[in-house]
Structure 1
Amino acid sequence: MTAARRAALRAALVEAGRGKPVAPYTLDEAMTFFCPQENVEGLDLPLVRDFQGWVREEHEPSTEGDRAILLLLPCQPRKPYALAPEHLAINGALLAAGFAPTGRGDWPKQLDTDVAPELRSNAPLLRDGLRIDRAVISEPFGLVPYEAIYHWHGVLSPCARYDDPGLFEHRGLGAPWREDSTSVARADGTHRWGDAERAAYVEAHNRLATEIAAALERLASHYDAIVSYTTTTLTHRSFLADHAGRRAVRLPNARTAGGVHRRLVGVNDLVPGLVEILPAPADLDALRAASGRRLPQELLSDPLLLDRLVARVDALAAA
């Protein structure tokens, strides 16, 4: 493959990524990561390191309410995250259950959306003294408090200006534009990862899990519970789960690269029991039974699972 062809492949991915942020947010080309190797490099970018350091060492949650839950949600292609369909469904279910934002939040006035203000708000949610803080599990930022989804340090947040599908092998991107690529082209034009991609995936995965664990461990004293609501097939759940948790939903616990078995490590491996991970396997079994043994593509927006999420929040509130 010629250098020009390699450059064109990546340029096409960047161009596709431009449609993901909602105005006034625009894609920062320096914050695009389309393969595992780029994810590893991205973790060392000054902007990413500065943001992670802020979350790990400086961010302080609200003090409103008598009790608090931290709800971890997956990152989304559409940004800012609150405007993405899954987040709208999740936040809508919480609002329907009686929670309400404690304020407007800080979404920019020029935000190009007709989403209702209460769904746009990135302020904490409150009901009868129970506060829900929301945060996003993100590649490459790690943990993104909802307070930082619109602005950070007085400017439009970098967490709404990136594109990172590079750790999702099933999308078939490979890394054919890179000199260090070992990905293999398939007949349909997609690519299968090779040793370099698998090794970089493990490095990026474990570095992000370690970063998220450090942030959550510091913040844990502010919360009665830390609960995640993430799909079963993507990295967000893998970053959080321990060995048994990944095995329960058939996520891999290791990858082999260069003949070496490389173990994946999650938050609950590093700090056992820190995060309660939903949907639980029993919830998934119930949904399979209700849907003819097949899980829906838009898993986290499913009414049954949203009901189970709200029920778990209610149980924590009553405990």
Structure 2
Amino acid sequence: MVTTDDRAQRLIESAAKFRAPFTLDPSLALYSPQDNVDSLKHPRIAAWMDFVGRDYTPKLPDAREHVLLLLPCTRTKPYILSTEHRRINAALIAAGFVPSAPADPVLLAFRAEEEPEALFSLAPLAHPSGVVVHRAVISEPLGLVPYEHMLTWPGGTSPAVLYDDPGLFEDRGNAVSPWRADSTAVRVSASRWKWGPNEKRAHVEMHNAMARAVAEALGRFGHLYARRISWVAPGLTHRSFVVAKAERPAHGIVATRQVGAERLALTGANDLLPPDLALTALPTRPQCAEALLRLAKRLGRTPAEAAGHFGRGGGDATPLALPELLEDLLAAVLPTKVAKAA
């Protein structure tokens, strides 16, 4: 028998992902697709979606070229303190990018002695070549989180430092809320569950809502950028939020989901955006394959032996944070000659 005590234990695990003084709002702990769908009506989430979708406009410093860089959300809150974001931002700073505003004092409390203060700025990053990178995060249940509103926004404390949402990651085997009356998940072992029809249907509904949220925002201000890059690991849900139906085979992402007798379509933001505002989803699968070979060479191992290191991003991260793939990121955001020099 599953009880509310099970959710209480999950809340303890969620709270551990936050770095003080940031704390979890228990009403924003989302453990299943059904929790995610319900969250769209949560006052904090609804207000955020309305702000980003209708009112928010980036304030960008003058530049020869503006680039939007979308990064994945992370289990660590705030995102910028995660291993993944730290390494990505460190690579940009090492390549010559400089924040257009000082680091946030609250974030500086987490700075290690060897880390530059610039690593803890939420402002757009400017490069001497004339490129400005504006960072944002693809998140469920928030859709799009501009970096500068990671901690605060006009509504007060940003919901980006209040939520935990492992509820759409089916492969983990615990993205379920068995205490819910509408749960159709089936336990297959002591720690793993299999989604039922209600979980699968809610997943499609939430997936498509996130694609719409990203598209709605970029449909308003995507023209501000010369390039719009989504730097999200292939195969993950965040990549699926972005790519169009025609792009999915190249990214190894399914276009539909079977729910009972129905086959439901998965919509990406690029399905909803005009071609001139579409996002480029990187790294590509060929880039990942090449990066694995370079990693194996660096480690003095075979590609098969290096695969585990690659999958873990060299530690508590994803492959996106590896130096070999960060080379491809720099090549995407900087002019060719500058990227090679970096």
Q: What TM-score, normalized to structure 2?
A: 0.87
Q: Is residue 2:173 matched to residue 1:172?
A: yes
Equivalent residue, structure 1, for 2:300: none
Q: Is residue 2:191 matched to residue 1:193?
A: no
In the aligned structure 1, how far is the partner of 2:108 from the partner of 2:68?
29
Q: How many residues align?
A: 316
Map 1:248-267 onto structure 2 (within 5 A).
Answer: 248-267=250-269
Map 1:14-53 onto structure 2 (within 5 A).
Answer: 14-53=11-50
In the aligned structure 1, how far is the partner of 2:141 from the partner of 2:97?
30
- SS, match of residue 102 in structure 2: coil
- SS, match of residue 262 in structure 1: strand
Q: Which amino acid aligns with 2:87?
A: A
- SS, match of residue 108 in structure 1: helix
In the aligned structure 2, how far is the partner of 1:236 from the partner of 1:109?
26
Equivalent residue, structure 2, for 1:68: 66
In the aligned structure 1, how far is the partner of 2:212 from the partner of 2:166?
20
C-alpha contact 2:133 2:333 (8 A) present in aligned 1: no
- SS, match of residue 22 in structure 1: coil
Equivalent residue, structure 1, for 2:163: 162
C-alpha contact 2:145 2:160 (8 A) present in aligned 1: yes
Q: Give the one of 282, 288, 313 matched to 1:284.
A: 288
Q: Unpaired segments of 5 or more residues in structure 2?
A: 297-302, 314-318
C-alpha contact 2:185 2:194 (8 A) present in aligned 1: yes
- SS, match of residue 201 in structure 2: helix
Map 1:185-224 onto structure 2 (within 5 A).
Answer: 185-224=187-226
In the aligned structure 1, how far is the partner of 2:107 from the partner of 2:264?
47
Q: Deviations over 1:150-200 (max 9, x none)?
A: 112273322111100000001111231111111110124210101000000
Equivalent residue, structure 2, for 1:78: 76
In the aligned structure 2, how far is the partner of 1:50 from the partner of 1:100?
32
Q: Which amino acid aligns with 1:207?
A: A
Q: Displacement of 1:46 after TM fit?
A: 1.6
- SS, match of residue 269 in structure 1: helix
In the aligned structure 2, how far is the partner of 1:105 from the partner of 1:124?
11
Q: Displacement of 1:118 after TM fit?
A: 1.0
Equivalent residue, structure 1, for 2:124: 124
Q: Is residue 2:149 matched to residue 1:140?
A: no
C-alpha contact 1:205 1:265 (8 A) present in aligned 2: yes
Q: Give the one of 293, 303, 310 matched to 2:330.
A: 310
Q: Give the one of 277, 297, 308 matched to 2:312.
A: 297
Q: Is residue 2:169 matched to residue 1:149?
A: no
- SS, match of residue 311 in structure 2: coil
In the aligned structure 1, how far is the partner of 2:19 from the partner of 2:157?
12
Instruction: Identify which range, 257-266 or 113-122, moves more after superposition.
Output: 113-122
C-alpha contact 2:131 2:334 (8 A) present in aligned 1: no
Instruction: Identify which range, 32-41 or 298-307, moves more after superposition.
Output: 298-307
Q: Displacement of 1:65 after TM fit?
A: 2.5
C-alpha contact 2:108 2:117 (8 A) present in aligned 1: no
In the aligned structure 1, how far is the partner of 2:109 from the partner of 2:162?
14
* CA RMSD, Structure 1 to Structure 2 (Å): 2.0
Runs (4+) of structure 1 exceeding 6 A deviation are none
Q: Displacement of 1:82 after TM fit?
A: 0.7
Shift of the 113–156 alpha-carbon distance from structure 1 to 2, 3 Å rule, reads farther
- SS, match of residue 144 in structure 1: strand
- SS, match of residue 248 in structure 2: helix
In the aligned structure 1, how far is the partner of 2:60 from the partner of 2:4?
49
Percent of matched pairs sharing the same residue: 38
